[in-house]
C-alpha cells in the first residue's frame, strides 16, 4: 500500500490539499509579534512593528482553511491586540495539467556507494570468509576494509535538493506558464504563490498531518510598506512545492527562435512527422538561434520526463542561472517543461 501511495504521489495523482490559505488580521498597536497557532497543522508567525494607537490590517498565510477556523488561537507580543477580520476567498484553482506532471524531486540528500566502494565491500566480505579460521586477522582485515569504505568518495544523488520548474502548455494560440519552486523542509515563498503542496509520501490528505509553519518578516525598510518575506518550514525530510501561474515571462520558445533564456541541456520529443516519440538529445541551445540538431547523448532525467502526454511536441531543458522570472528564492537548478512545443 505504501509503495502504491508513493507511486501515486510521484505521478501527481494522489489527492493533495492546499496548505496555503490567507486571512486578514486586524491588529492594534503596540505590538511586535503575532502568532497564529493552528494546532497540529502548524502556525504562522508575523514579525514587525505596530506603534501604540496604530491600527493595521495584515494579510497573513495560514496552513488551514476557514473550515478549521475553530482550531486557530492568536497570541500577541507587545501589549496590543489582534483579531481575525475575514478569511479571504479560497485560492483560484491552477490549470489541471499541473497535477498530471510528476514532481518526484527534490529528494533529501542521500549519499550512495560508488562502484569502487561496492567492490571494496565485496572484497572485504570474501576476505573475511577466507580468514574465518583466524579471527584476529579477520578482525584486522575487516576493520581496514570498513575504514577504507568510510574514506572512499560516494556518489551524490541525481535529483537536486532545491529546484524550480517552469511548466508550459500550449492551449490554442496561447501558452500558459506555471512556476513551481520545490525544496526540502523549507522554502522562501514567492509573493504570487497560490498552491503549497506537501509531496512527501505518507501524508494523509485533508488531515494536516504534516505541520507547516510560516514566518512573515515585515521588518524591512519602509515600515512594512514593501513586500514581506515569507518563509515556510516543515519537519526534516518533508518535500514542499509552491506553485503559481506565471504571467510575466518574456521571450520566445519555438524551434526556430530562442529568446526565453539560455538552455544548457535540451531534449525534445514528438517533433518529427513520422510519429517518432523517442527522446532526442540536443545539447545546449544558445539565445537567438534555432533548435540544434539531435546528437548522441543521455536521455532526460526520469523525474522530469514522467507523466507527459503522447502525440504532442515536448521540450525539456535545464535553464542557465535562475531563468526567466527568476530571483529569490534561489534554486540549485532551474528547468523548463513545455507541452505543445513546435505546434
For the segment 242-252, what is each residue's pLDDT rounded down to a tens digit? 998 887 776 78
Boundaries of every domain in the chain = 115-151, 162-203+238-339
**Sequence-distant (≥ 6) Cβ neighbours of residue 105 within 8 angstroms:** 159, 160, 163, 182, 301, 303, 304
Structure confidence at residue 144 (pLDDT):
62
Indicate the average pLDDT of the chain. Answer: 78
How far from each other are the two terminal CA atoms of the chain, in whole angstroms? 40
Cell of 121: 565491500
Instruction: Render pLDDT for 236-276 as a digit per residue (tens, 0 to 9).
Output: 888 899 998 887 776 788 899 888 888 999 999 988 766 66
Phi, psi at 118, each rounded to 5° = -65, -40
For the ranges 19-23, 118-122, 157-161, the one whose mean pLDDT is highest: 19-23
Instruction: Render pLDDT for 49-102 as a digit per residue (tens, 0 to 9).
Output: 999 999 999 999 999 989 888 889 999 998 899 999 999 976 666 777 766 666
Instruction: Render pLDDT for 166-208 as a digit per residue (tens, 0 to 9).
Output: 898 988 888 888 888 988 889 999 888 999 988 876 444 445 4
In the block, cell 515569507 appears at: 230
Is beta strand 186-188 parallel, antiparallel or unpaired with respect to 229-233?
antiparallel
Structure confidence at residue 5 (pLDDT):
29
Phi, psi at 30, each rounded to 5° = -90, 140
DSSP 198-230: E-STT--TTTT-S-EEEEEE--STTTTTSPPEE
Going edge to edge, which strands form the sheet with 81-87?
A: 55-62, 21-28, 81-87
CB count in 10 Å sphere of residue 19: 26
Is 294 buried (19+), middle (13-18) or exposed (0-12) by CB count in 10 A? Answer: middle
Whether residue 12 has pLDDT greater than 80: no
Using DSSP, state whether 190 is helix, strand or coil.
coil
Amino acid at each position: 500500500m505504501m509503495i502504491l501511495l508513493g507511486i501515486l504521489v510521484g505521478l501527481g495523482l494522489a489527492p493533495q490539499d492546499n496548505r496555503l490559505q490567507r486571512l486578514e488580521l486586524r491588529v492594534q498597536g503596540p505590538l511586535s509579534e503575532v502568532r497564529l497557532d493552528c494546532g497540529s497543522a502548524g502556525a504562522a508567525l508575523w514579525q514587525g512593528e505596530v506603534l501604540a494607537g496604530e491600527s493595521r490590517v495584515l494579510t497573513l498565510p495560514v496552513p488551514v482553511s476557514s473550515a478549521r477556523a475553530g482550531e486557530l488561537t492568536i497570541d500577541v507580543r507587545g501589549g496590543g491586540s489582534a483579531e481575525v477580520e475575514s478569511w479571504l476567498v479560497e485560492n483560484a484553482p491552477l490549470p489541471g495539467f499541473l497535477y498530471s506532471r510528476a514532481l518526484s524531486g527534490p529528494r533529501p540528500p542521500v549519499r550512495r556507494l560508488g562502484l569502487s566502494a561496492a567492490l571494496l565491500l565485496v572484497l572485504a566480505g570474501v576476505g573475511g570468509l577466507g580468514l574465518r579460521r583466524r579471527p584476529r586477522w579477520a578482525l584486522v582485515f575487516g576493520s581496514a576494509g570498513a575504514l577504507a569504505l568510510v574514506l572512499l568518495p560516494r556518489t551524490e544523488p541525481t535529483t537536486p535538493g532545491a529546484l524550480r520548474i517552469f511548466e508550459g502548455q500550449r492551449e490554442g494560440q496561447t501558452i500558459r506558464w506555471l512556476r513551481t519552486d520545490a525544496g526540502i523542509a523549507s522554502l522562501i515563498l514567492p509573493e504570487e504563490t497560490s498552491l503549497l503542496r506537501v509531496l512527501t509520501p505518507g501524508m494523509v490528505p485533508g488531515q494536516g498531518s504534516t505541520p507547516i509553519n510560516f514566518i512573515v518578516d515585515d521588518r524591512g525598510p519602509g515600515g512594512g510598506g514593501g513586500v514581506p518575506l515569507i518563509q515556510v518550514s516543515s519537519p526534516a525530510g518533508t518535500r514542499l512545492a509552491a506553485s503559481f501561474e506565471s504571467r510575466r515571462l518574456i521571450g520566445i520558445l519555438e524551434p526556430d527562435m530562442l529568446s526565453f533564456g539560455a538552455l544548457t541541456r535540451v531534449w525534445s520529443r514528438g517533433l518529427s512527422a513520422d510519429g517518432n516519440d523517442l527522446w532526442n538529445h540536443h545539447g545546449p541551445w544558445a539565445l537567438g538561434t534555432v533548435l540544434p540538431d539531435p546528437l548522441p547523448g543521455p536521455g532526460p532525467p526520469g523525474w522530469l520526463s514522467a507523466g507527459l502526454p503522447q502525440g504532442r511536441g515536448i521540450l525539456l531543458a535545464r535553464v542557465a542561472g535562475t531563468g526567466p522570472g527568476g530571483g529569490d528564492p534561489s534554486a540549485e537548478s532551474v528547468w523548463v517543461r513545455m507541452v505543445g512545443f513546435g505546434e
